[in-house]
Protein backbone atom coordinates (compact mmCIF):
# COMPACT_ATOMS: atom_id res chain seq x y z
CA UNK A 1 0.00 0.00 0.00
CA UNK A 2 1.23 3.50 -0.79
CA UNK A 3 -0.60 6.28 0.98
CA UNK A 4 -1.11 9.42 -1.05
CA UNK A 5 0.50 12.47 0.50
CA UNK A 6 -2.29 14.76 1.69
CA UNK A 7 -1.99 18.48 2.42
CA UNK A 8 -1.92 17.52 6.12
CA UNK A 9 1.22 15.48 5.43
CA UNK A 10 2.64 18.50 3.67
CA UNK A 11 1.79 20.55 6.73
CA UNK A 12 3.67 18.16 8.99
CA UNK A 13 6.67 18.30 6.67
CA UNK A 14 6.70 22.09 6.59
CA UNK A 15 6.47 22.16 10.37
CA UNK A 16 9.39 19.76 10.55
CA UNK A 17 11.52 21.54 7.96
CA UNK A 18 11.15 25.21 8.80
CA UNK A 19 11.77 27.47 11.82
CA UNK A 20 9.37 27.27 14.72
CA UNK A 21 6.44 29.66 14.66
CA UNK A 22 3.59 30.74 16.89
CA UNK A 23 -0.04 29.73 16.87
CA UNK A 24 -2.72 30.99 19.21
CA UNK A 25 -2.59 27.81 21.27
CA UNK A 26 -5.97 26.65 22.50
CA UNK A 27 -4.97 23.01 22.92
CA UNK A 28 -2.60 22.08 25.78
CA UNK A 29 0.92 21.01 24.84
CA UNK A 30 1.82 17.33 24.59
CA UNK A 31 4.09 16.08 27.35
CA UNK A 32 7.62 17.43 26.97
CA UNK A 33 6.78 19.99 24.25
CA UNK A 34 6.40 23.76 24.41
CA UNK A 35 4.43 26.27 22.35
CA UNK A 36 6.32 27.19 19.18
CA UNK A 37 8.49 30.31 19.25
CA UNK A 38 6.61 33.52 18.60
CA UNK A 39 8.84 35.02 15.88
CA UNK A 40 8.63 33.67 12.37
CA UNK A 41 7.64 35.10 8.97
CA UNK A 42 6.07 31.73 8.15
CA UNK A 43 3.09 32.08 10.49
CA UNK A 44 0.73 33.38 7.80
CA UNK A 45 1.61 30.69 5.28
CA UNK A 46 1.29 27.91 7.85
CA UNK A 47 -2.11 29.12 8.98
CA UNK A 48 -3.13 29.30 5.33
CA UNK A 49 -2.27 25.61 4.87
CA UNK A 50 -4.17 24.66 8.01
CA UNK A 51 -7.12 26.76 6.84
CA UNK A 52 -7.88 24.16 4.15
CA UNK A 53 -9.16 21.91 6.93
CA UNK A 54 -10.13 24.16 9.81
CA UNK A 55 -8.54 26.34 12.48
CA UNK A 56 -5.01 25.86 13.75
CA UNK A 57 -5.36 25.56 17.53
CA UNK A 58 -1.85 24.59 18.61
CA UNK A 59 1.75 24.28 17.49
CA UNK A 60 4.34 22.69 19.77
CA UNK A 61 8.02 21.82 19.58
CA UNK A 62 10.65 20.00 21.61
CA UNK A 63 13.75 21.74 22.90
CA UNK A 64 15.83 18.65 22.05
CA UNK A 65 17.36 18.67 18.58
CA UNK A 66 19.01 16.09 16.36
CA UNK A 67 20.61 16.36 12.90
CA UNK A 68 18.66 15.74 9.71
CA UNK A 69 21.00 15.74 6.72
CA UNK A 70 23.59 17.64 8.74
CA UNK A 71 21.22 20.31 10.06
CA UNK A 72 19.89 20.26 13.61
CA UNK A 73 16.10 20.11 13.74
CA UNK A 74 13.69 19.65 16.65
CA UNK A 75 13.39 15.98 17.55
CA UNK A 76 9.63 16.35 17.84
CA UNK A 77 6.84 18.61 16.63
CA UNK A 78 3.09 18.56 17.15
CA UNK A 79 0.10 20.52 15.91
CA UNK A 80 -3.65 20.60 16.42
CA UNK A 81 -6.40 21.57 13.98
CA UNK A 82 -10.06 21.95 14.82
CA UNK A 83 -11.77 20.78 11.64
CA UNK A 84 -14.48 22.66 9.79
CA UNK A 85 -17.99 21.64 10.74
CA UNK A 86 -19.80 19.28 8.40
CA UNK A 87 -22.35 20.75 6.02
CA UNK A 88 -24.86 18.29 7.47
CA UNK A 89 -24.44 19.69 10.97
CA UNK A 90 -22.35 19.02 14.08
CA UNK A 91 -20.16 15.93 14.18
CA UNK A 92 -21.43 12.99 16.20
CA UNK A 93 -20.17 9.62 17.45
CA UNK A 94 -21.51 8.23 14.16
CA UNK A 95 -19.09 10.57 12.36
CA UNK A 96 -16.21 9.17 14.39
CA UNK A 97 -17.41 5.63 13.66
CA UNK A 98 -17.35 6.37 9.94
CA UNK A 99 -13.91 7.99 10.04
CA UNK A 100 -12.52 5.11 12.08
CA UNK A 101 -13.87 2.60 9.57
CA UNK A 102 -12.34 4.61 6.71
CA UNK A 103 -8.99 4.70 8.49
CA UNK A 104 -9.15 0.94 9.08
CA UNK A 105 -9.78 0.43 5.37
CA UNK A 106 -6.78 2.60 4.45
CA UNK A 107 -4.54 0.37 6.58
CA UNK A 108 -6.13 -2.98 5.73
CA UNK A 109 -3.18 -4.22 3.65
CA UNK A 110 -0.54 -3.23 6.20
CA UNK A 111 0.55 -5.79 8.78
CA UNK A 112 0.34 -4.12 12.20
CA UNK A 113 3.64 -4.27 14.05
CA UNK A 114 1.97 -4.85 17.40
CA UNK A 115 1.09 -8.38 16.25
CA UNK A 116 4.78 -9.25 16.15
CA UNK A 117 6.87 -10.20 19.15
CA UNK A 118 9.18 -7.60 20.64
CA UNK A 119 12.37 -8.98 19.05
CA UNK A 120 10.90 -8.91 15.52
CA UNK A 121 9.50 -5.43 16.12
CA UNK A 122 12.82 -4.02 17.31
CA UNK A 123 14.61 -5.65 14.37
CA UNK A 124 12.23 -3.99 11.89
CA UNK A 125 12.87 -0.60 13.43
CA UNK A 126 16.64 -1.16 13.26
CA UNK A 127 16.35 -2.11 9.58
CA UNK A 128 14.48 1.08 8.83
CA UNK A 129 17.07 3.23 10.54
CA UNK A 130 19.95 1.41 8.84
CA UNK A 131 18.42 2.03 5.40
CA UNK A 132 18.14 5.77 5.97
CA UNK A 133 20.88 7.31 3.86
CA UNK A 134 21.59 10.01 1.30
CA UNK A 135 20.47 9.17 -2.21
CA UNK A 136 20.41 10.90 -5.56
CA UNK A 137 17.50 8.88 -6.86
CA UNK A 138 14.50 10.82 -5.53
CA UNK A 139 11.98 11.48 -8.27
CA UNK A 140 10.11 14.32 -6.61
CA UNK A 141 10.46 16.87 -3.84
CA UNK A 142 9.02 14.43 -1.33
CA UNK A 143 7.54 10.93 -1.39
CA UNK A 144 6.20 8.64 1.28
CA UNK A 145 6.92 4.97 0.80
CA UNK A 146 4.76 2.26 2.33
CA UNK A 147 4.30 3.21 5.98
CA UNK A 148 4.27 0.76 8.86
CA UNK A 149 1.25 0.61 11.12
CA UNK A 150 2.31 0.39 14.76
CA UNK A 151 -1.09 0.65 16.44
CA UNK A 152 -4.67 1.77 15.91
CA UNK A 153 -6.84 2.16 18.97
CA UNK A 154 -10.34 3.38 19.73
CA UNK A 155 -9.89 5.09 23.09
CA UNK A 156 -13.59 5.80 23.64
CA UNK A 157 -16.67 6.42 21.47
CA UNK A 158 -15.46 9.93 20.63
CA UNK A 159 -11.75 9.43 19.93
CA UNK A 160 -9.14 7.16 18.39
CA UNK A 161 -5.41 7.15 17.71
CA UNK A 162 -3.13 5.80 15.00
CA UNK A 163 0.63 5.41 15.39
CA UNK A 164 2.80 4.69 12.36
CA UNK A 165 6.36 4.80 11.05
CA UNK A 166 6.96 6.68 7.83
CA UNK A 167 9.91 7.23 5.53
CA UNK A 168 10.18 10.58 3.82
CA UNK A 169 12.38 11.23 0.79
CA UNK A 170 13.26 14.84 0.15
CA UNK A 171 15.08 16.58 -2.67
CA UNK A 172 16.59 19.98 -1.98
CA UNK A 173 18.99 21.95 -4.15
CA UNK A 174 19.68 18.87 -6.23
CA UNK A 175 20.56 16.74 -3.20
CA UNK A 176 18.23 13.89 -2.19
CA UNK A 177 18.03 12.30 1.24
CA UNK A 178 15.53 10.47 3.44
CA UNK A 179 14.58 10.34 7.09
CA UNK A 180 12.16 8.28 9.17
CA UNK A 181 9.58 9.48 11.65
CA UNK A 182 7.32 7.97 14.25
CA UNK A 183 3.95 9.66 13.94
CA UNK A 184 0.91 9.77 16.16
CA UNK A 185 -2.48 10.93 14.89
CA UNK A 186 -5.72 11.31 16.86
CA UNK A 187 -9.26 12.55 16.38
CA UNK A 188 -11.29 13.89 19.30
CA UNK A 189 -15.02 14.64 19.28
CA UNK A 190 -16.22 17.40 21.61
CA UNK A 191 -19.49 19.31 21.55
CA UNK A 192 -20.09 18.57 17.86
CA UNK A 193 -16.55 19.50 16.81
CA UNK A 194 -13.63 17.34 15.69
CA UNK A 195 -10.04 18.14 16.60
CA UNK A 196 -7.13 16.45 14.87
CA UNK A 197 -3.89 16.03 16.83
CA UNK A 198 -0.61 15.10 15.13
CA UNK A 199 2.78 14.30 16.65
CA UNK A 200 5.88 13.76 14.50
CA UNK A 201 9.16 12.52 16.04
CA UNK A 202 12.49 11.68 14.44
CA UNK A 203 12.94 7.91 14.46
CA UNK A 204 16.25 6.86 15.98
CA UNK A 205 15.13 3.70 17.76
CA UNK A 206 12.18 1.86 19.25
CA UNK A 207 12.14 4.29 22.16
CA UNK A 208 10.94 7.02 19.80
CA UNK A 209 7.98 4.91 18.70
CA UNK A 210 7.12 4.06 22.30
CA UNK A 211 7.34 7.75 23.20
CA UNK A 212 4.89 8.74 20.47
CA UNK A 213 2.43 6.00 21.47
CA UNK A 214 2.47 7.25 25.07
CA UNK A 215 2.40 10.94 24.17
CA UNK A 216 -0.50 10.78 21.71
CA UNK A 217 -2.65 8.86 24.20
CA UNK A 218 -1.76 11.31 26.97
CA UNK A 219 -2.37 14.28 24.68
CA UNK A 220 -5.85 13.01 23.81
CA UNK A 221 -6.65 12.76 27.52
CA UNK A 222 -5.39 16.25 28.42
CA UNK A 223 -6.98 17.82 25.33
CA UNK A 224 -10.34 16.20 26.03
CA UNK A 225 -10.29 17.62 29.56
CA UNK A 226 -9.34 21.08 28.29
CA UNK A 227 -12.08 21.07 25.65
CA UNK A 228 -14.69 20.00 28.18
CA UNK A 229 -13.61 22.82 30.49
CA UNK A 230 -14.04 25.49 27.78
Q: What is the pLDDT of residue 115?
A: 54
Please report whether residue 194 resides in a domain: yes
Please report whether residue 21 resides in a domain: yes
Q: How far is CA 103 from CA 74, 128, 145, in A?
A: 28, 24, 18
228's CB contacts (< 8 A; 6+ apart) are 190
Q: What is the pLDDT of residue 145?
A: 61
Please report whether residue 11 resides in a domain: yes
Domain that holds residue 210: 7-229
101: Cα within 13 Å, side-chain hemisphere: 6
Q: What is the pLDDT of residue 135?
A: 40
Q: pTM score, two decimals?
A: 0.79
Residues with pLDDT less than 50, the chain: 1-5, 7, 10-24, 41-42, 132-142
Q: What is the pLDDT of residue 139?
A: 37
Cα–Cα distance, 173 to 141 (Å, whole number): 10
Total domains in the chain come to 1
Cα–Cα distance, 35 to 24 (Å, whole number): 9
Q: What is the pLDDT of residue 191?
A: 92
Q: What is the pLDDT of residue 55?
A: 85
Residue pair 190/228 in contact (Cβ under 8 Å)? The answer is yes
Please report whether residue 173 resides in a domain: yes
Residue pair 219/199 in contact (Cβ under 8 Å)? The answer is yes
Residue pair 180/146 in contact (Cβ under 8 Å)? The answer is no
**In terms of C-beta distances under 8 Å and separation of at least 24 residues, what long-range contacts does 171-177 make, across chains too?**
171/138, 171/140, 171/141, 171/142, 172/141, 175/69, 175/134, 175/136, 176/134, 176/135, 176/136, 176/137, 176/138, 177/69, 177/133, 177/134, 177/135
Enter the DSSP assignment of 89: B
Work out whether strand 175-190 and strand 71-74 pair parallel, antiparallel, or are unpaired.
Answer: unpaired
Please report whether residue 169 resides in a domain: yes
Please report whether residue 33 resides in a domain: yes
Q: What is the pLDDT of residue 94?
A: 94
Secondary element (H or E) of residue 197: strand 193-202
Please report whether residue 1 resides in a domain: no
Q: What is the pLDDT of residue 40?
A: 52
Please report whether residue 2 resides in a domain: no
Enter the DSSP assignment of 19: -
Reference 36, options 6, 76, 84; nearest CA is 76
Amino acid sequence: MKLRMSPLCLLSFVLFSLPAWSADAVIPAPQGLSVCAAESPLTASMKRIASEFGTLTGCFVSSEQAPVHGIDKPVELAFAITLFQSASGPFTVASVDQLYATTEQQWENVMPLWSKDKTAYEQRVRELIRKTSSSASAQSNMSIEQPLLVSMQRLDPGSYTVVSIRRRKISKDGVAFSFDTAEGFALILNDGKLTRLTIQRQLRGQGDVDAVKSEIAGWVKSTSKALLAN
